[in-house]
Amino acid sequence: MLHVIFIIAIAAEAMTAALAAGRRKMDWFGVCVLAAVTALGGGTMRDTLLGHYPLSWVADPTLLLICCGFALLTIALARFMEHLRWPFLLLDALGLVVFTIIGCNVAIEMGESPVIVIVAGMITGIVGGIMRDVLCNDIPLVFSSQLYATISIVTGALYYLGLQLNLMHDLVTVLAVVIGFSLRVLAIRFNWGMPKFIYDKELR
């Protein structure tokens, strides 16, 4: 089940990245590159930092094909995308928590400490979006006060804690996904965010 949701999340991230590329008037190659970076960048960064090889898309090149395929599909269906805002937001929320859990699993299998497990989950969940926004010359969503990274951390912590309590793996996975997804949807709906730091004085 987690693998199926993972593929759906990759497709959704690739499509949202393709729309961002379209807003920046990128060519088709740029669209595909941005889609792959967004969908696979978090896992790539995690694996690189942890020394976990081969990288996910090297071990399974079909992930690259999925990214490019759905990016090109987005180009073909672009005129209808404005009506699919909420479905994409929901898929993005689902992708965030699923990527987080997968990242935690990789770190757990490598025998990493609890802090590294949670950080690995967060990196997997948020870094692709950061890369997308940086390449599009935007302030990353995760740094603009929205509850995004925080939800990834909470999801990873709940998942790890549940496993340490020897609860059934499937039950822990479902609970972490449901809680993380619900928090993200509520944050979008009610515009929950982290406090902002505002400093507008010039240093003399």
| Strand runs labelled E in the chain | none
> Digits of tens for pLDDT over the chain (204 positions)?
778 888 988 998 898 899 889 989 999 999 999 999 999 999 999 999 999 999 999 999 999 999 999 999 999 988 877 777 788 788 888 889 999 999 999 999 999 999 999 999 999 999 999 999 999 998 887 887 678 999 999 999 999 999 999 999 999 999 999 999 999 999 988 888 888 777 777 766
Helix/strand/coil percent split, the chain, to 5? 80, 0, 20
85 Rama class: left (phi>0) / alpha (psi -120 to 50) / beta: alpha
Look up residue 92 and give its two tokens. Answer: 């993005």
- Residue-wise pLDDT for 96-130, tens only, equals 999 999 999 999 999 999 999 999 999 999 999 99
- Residue-wise pLDDT for 140-156, tens only, equals 878 876 789 999 999 99
